[in-house]
Amino acid sequence: MTKTRSAQVDLTNCDREPIQIPGSIQPHGAMLVVDPDRFELLYASENAGELTGYRGVIERGTPLADIVGEQAVHDIRNACAKSGGGEIAGIELGLRLGHSSAPVDVIAHRHQDRVLIEIEPSLDGGRSAKKALGLTHALVRRLGVETEVAGLARAGARLVRTMLGYDRVMVYQFLHNGAGRVIAEAKRSDHQSFMGQHFPASDIPYQARRLYELNAIRMIGDSGYTPVPLQPPLVPGDPPVDMSFAQLRAVSPIHCEYLQNMGVHASMSISILVDGKLWGLISCHHDSPHIVPVALRIGAELFGHYFSLQVAVAERRAHVVAAGLARKRIDKILSGLPVDEALLPGLRDHLDDFMALFDCDGVGIWAEERWASAGLAPSQDEALALVRFLAGEGEGLPRTMSSKLGLWHTQDLHGVTGLDGFGGAVAGALAIPLTLTPRDYLLIFRSEEAHRIEWAGEPAKIILSTPNGNRLTPRGSFDTWREDVRGQSKPWTETDLSGCDTVRSYLRDLFLKQNEVTAEERGRTEHRRRVLNDELNHRVKNIITLIKSIAVQTGAHAETVAGYAASLEGRLRALAFAHDQSLSAAVGGDLATLVEAEAGFHRHGPDLDRVVAGGDQVRLDDRAFGVMALVVHEMMTNAAKYGALSVPEGRLEIRWSCSETEGCRVSWVETDGPIVSAPTREGFGSKLIQTMMVYDLGGRADISYPPSGMVAHLVIPAKHVAIDDDEREPEAEAPRDKVDDHSLAGMSVLLVEDQSLIALDTEDILRRLGAKEVRLSPDAPHAVSTLQSFRPDTAILDFNLGDTTSEEVADQLVAMGVPFAFATGYGDSVMIPRHLRSVPVVRKPASAASVSAQLAEARRIAAQG
């Protein structure tokens, strides 16, 4: 046989290998595939009898209970139910089967109308189950101190190696071209380092990447294993058993050969997913066979989820920093421009300042058919050719419109455009559209940067000639192979793009506003913008710090993921309410409004006076209002869970009185509820109340637990309190009924929202309120097109849709006579046009209560004509 190397070989057959339906499993466990209704056997691995202890004939149609016992079937069904259904696996550790005394770990999930049951021996008598949770918790806490991706990767590699005991752990990040690069490594001292090396995209084919997105953990216990087939052979007409979500799935023989060529005899991969996409892998290698117990794999999967979240946060933090720095620098540039003169001449005069704004070698502006440049830049004729390419002349839409951020960039200008004059001095470019005119661009240039990429072995595939034809083989060498790259610039990073997007938004807004305001108005707008920027910067820093603290402390005291999510959602919703209220006035918010907002959720049915609240008319400053929003939410939540509001006959009375010298005193008395006693341990909610009242405000929180119900006395210092001149008890707000879960029963709804996750959450709320049909539109043109053939009963429109608004959709709904509400995250309605100011507004984050109430108000307004 002769080895040949060819760049022309079609490698798409590698991408088509059906690795999700191998028909066999790895031998360190067994698999039973059963009918989800009757729990009768469909297929079983050949070693199923050995691991289950069942001595009878294992054949299609055998009841699962005959093989594993009635109690085990009951436990497996419960595990599947507790998992939430679908492809999410249910897990039972240390399970005893009916025909064996040896404990086993069972993983079961449902997929494509089959239940796949994976059985592995409990390797260490359950000891790993006891330490997995504590070890995972300790690792997560250590990871929490890192704020940058590089630090996270280093810590992640080190911690995973400590947790799982592999000889080498690498953090592997996918690049824009599909190749991967090792950005962190923890290994035995006698191992060759792969740090900084690249792996070609073909090392992990498309379908393998897809499986990494579906299944966060993949372990190979022994790369030299012999697969164990499923029996009986596939029934004609029956689809193969899809093992996309199975942990015992046999892997491609080519991949096993690839590992053996690296000297790797066992491996594990933990997926790193950011925004649902495969960002990278935590890849573990071992020199000898190595099987990680199920409990530790669960811990590793949880660690992987948390690691992914931390990577997303770190990247967004880097983007925010880059955007903030860009905003600060462009503020400085534009502050020197006369506010009553045209913008373009001023920009052309300050191109040297833009050189410092970007990491670049030259900049240029093409606008109004004129070219101006500074630093390293093409000639006017070359710039015109590039602008025509960007504008898509003769080809349709401008190329920037295909980009998520509305930017266009390349590090290989000549190779991508085919234009002459590029690839030498000017090798890379980034285009920022300035206006809606296709030929108006701010262009940023980078020079050639000859550089060297280090690959883990030569990236070309090896083709082995055999009597049966050519066969693709994995690389046999992973020694460092260096490739020299010419004619390209330094790549544009996500951080670069974030800063450029800030500049794009800023400049486009300025061009639009210049056409709308007079010179006098422009001066006032400039002053307001500076004040708002300073205030926004201050508020955003404070709110991010507070949210991080709430998330960490809530997680530290949560017992389940569901409990963590519910507690965190409630606390963030209370924080969002306080934020909206504080933005709606000059300072702080009204205490009565805050208390009534929380109390309204617990008044329902005929007994609307179960929560009585009232006191002096008083406003709290921003700090106190935010603190009290969280404190009142915590106390209401505790009352609903454990106190007076947990039973129908329970009562809660909240009273407050204020003076300019003593501040505001709030009394909280629960009665007619269950008998209470002081808690045996202090949870996060109690700690939050005490800490925020005392530490944040310098006030006091005295809480006692007589049998009749909890009693609390809170004191807000006078410096945080503003009392109205006429100290009178406010008129009671009309108590809000509990949300009618069917207030939209049978209705069709149009939902316009450009953020997919928010759209899904809002759709879920609408369906819970009874909506029969929900049509989603991501932007205004799509919504207008939808309305040509669809007349909804009502609608919700996100007013701010990226660079545009939903005003056009709103006007069409008004013409059609369809009631609707806006949704916005802004604290007031100044962005909404004057003729639409009467439209009800749902504040983000939306709740079922606010959606139901505002759509009801929209229908009431429409009914009045």
How far is 373 from 442, CA to CA, in rounded Å?
10
Task: Write out the two tokens for 271.
Answer: 């997926």
Please tell me what DSSP assigns to residue 632. H
Packing angle, helices 127-143 and 149-164, rounded to 10:
160
- Predicted local confidence at residue 19, as pLDDT: 86
Q: CB-based burial of residue 161 (10 Å sphere; 0-12 exposed, 13-18 middle, 19+ buried)?
A: buried
Domain stop point among 69, 93, 121 = 121
Contact 652, 698 (CB under 8 A): no
Mean pLDDT per 10-residue run, the chain (865 residues)?
Answer: 35 64 94 94 95 92 95 91 74 90 92 93 73 75 82 91 92 84 92 85 82 92 95 88 94 86 91 92 95 91 90 86 79 69 77 82 88 89 88 64 70 82 78 80 83 51 49 47 63 82 80 58 56 54 55 62 67 60 56 82 67 89 82 83 85 90 91 87 71 83 91 91 58 40 86 80 88 91 92 93 85 93 70 83 83 91 83
CA dist 664 and 764 (Å) reads: 41
DSSP 696: I
Mark which of 91, 121, 151 sits at the end of a domain.
121
Does a structural domain hold residue 777?
Answer: yes
Judgement on whether residues 275 and 383 belong to the same structural domain of the protein:
no
CA distances 511 to 2, 246, 351, 522, 653, Å, are 65, 55, 17, 12, 55
Residue 28 domain flag? yes
Q: Is residue 346 part of a domain?
A: yes
C-alpha to C-alpha distance for 411 and 487, rounded to whole angstroms: 9
608 and 755 both lie in a single domain? no
Using DSSP bridges, classify how beta strands 451-456 and 480-485 pair: parallel, antiparallel or unpaired: antiparallel
- For tokens 């709430």, name the residue: 550
Task: Please give the angle made by the CA atoms of 563, 566 and 571, to the nearest 5 degrees.
Answer: 120
User: 800 exposed, middle or buried (CB, 10 Å; 0-12, 13-18, 19+)?
Assistant: middle
Residue 837: which CATH number?
3.40.50.2300
Are 141 and 165 contained in the same domain?
Answer: yes
Residues 113 and 143 occupy one common structural domain? no
Q: Is residue 806 part of a domain?
A: yes
For residue 259, is it within any domain? no
CA distance 816 to 783: 14
Count other C-beta atoms under 10 Å from residue 692's C-beta: 21
Assess whether 505 and 490 both reside in one domain: yes
How far is it, in rounded angstroms, from Cα 410 to Cα 427?
9
DSSP string, 254-281: HHHHHHHHTT-SEEEEEEEEETTEEEEE
pLDDT at residue 829, rounded to an integer = 53
Asked whether residue 615 falls in the same domain as residue 633, the answer is yes
Look at phi and psi of residue 673 and say left if phi exceeds 0, alpha if psi is from -120 to 50, else beta: beta
Question: What local confidence, expressed as pLDDT, does residue 531 receive?
Answer: 52
Collapsed DSSP state (helix, strand, coil) of residue 668: strand
Phi, psi of 50 (to 5 degrees): -65, -45
| Shared-domain flag, residues 801 and 682 | no
636 close to 598: Cβ distance less than 8 angstroms:
yes
Select from 431, 437, 434 the least CA-distant residue to 497.
431
Same domain, 109 and 131: no
> Within a domain: residue 253?
no
**Which contacts (CB < 8 Å, 24+ apart) does range 275-281 have?**
275/312, 276/213, 277/213, 278/174, 278/209, 278/212, 278/213, 279/173, 279/174, 279/308, 279/311, 280/171, 280/172, 280/173, 280/174, 280/180, 280/183, 281/171, 281/172, 281/180, 281/212
Please report whether residue 11 resides in a domain: no
Taking CA atoms, 523 is separated from 338, 764, 831, in Å, by 9, 45, 19
CATH of the domain at 81: 3.30.450.20
Q: Do residues 687 and 764 both lie within one domain?
A: no
CATH assignment at residue 195: 3.30.450.40
Please tell me the distance from the alpha carbon of residue 456 to that of residue 172, in angstroms, as a whole number.
12
Residues of the domain holding 279: 127-223+264-316
Indicate if 382 and 309 belong to the same structural domain.
no
| Torsion angles phi and psi, residue 625, rounded to 5 | -65, -40
CATH code: domain of residue 385: 3.30.450.270
Specify whether 663 is located in the same domain as 778.
no
At 4 the pLDDT is: 33
507, 646: one domain: no
Q: For residue 561, what pLDDT is reported?
A: 73
Pairing state between β 820-824 and 804-805: unpaired
Q: Residue 249 domain-assigned? A: no
Q: How many domains does the chain have?
A: 5
Sheet containing 217-220: order of strands:
217-220, 266-274, 277-286, 168-174, 180-187, 198-199, 451-456, 480-485
Q: Given this model, what pLDDT does residue 49 score?
A: 93
* Strand-pair category, 841-843 with 820-824: parallel
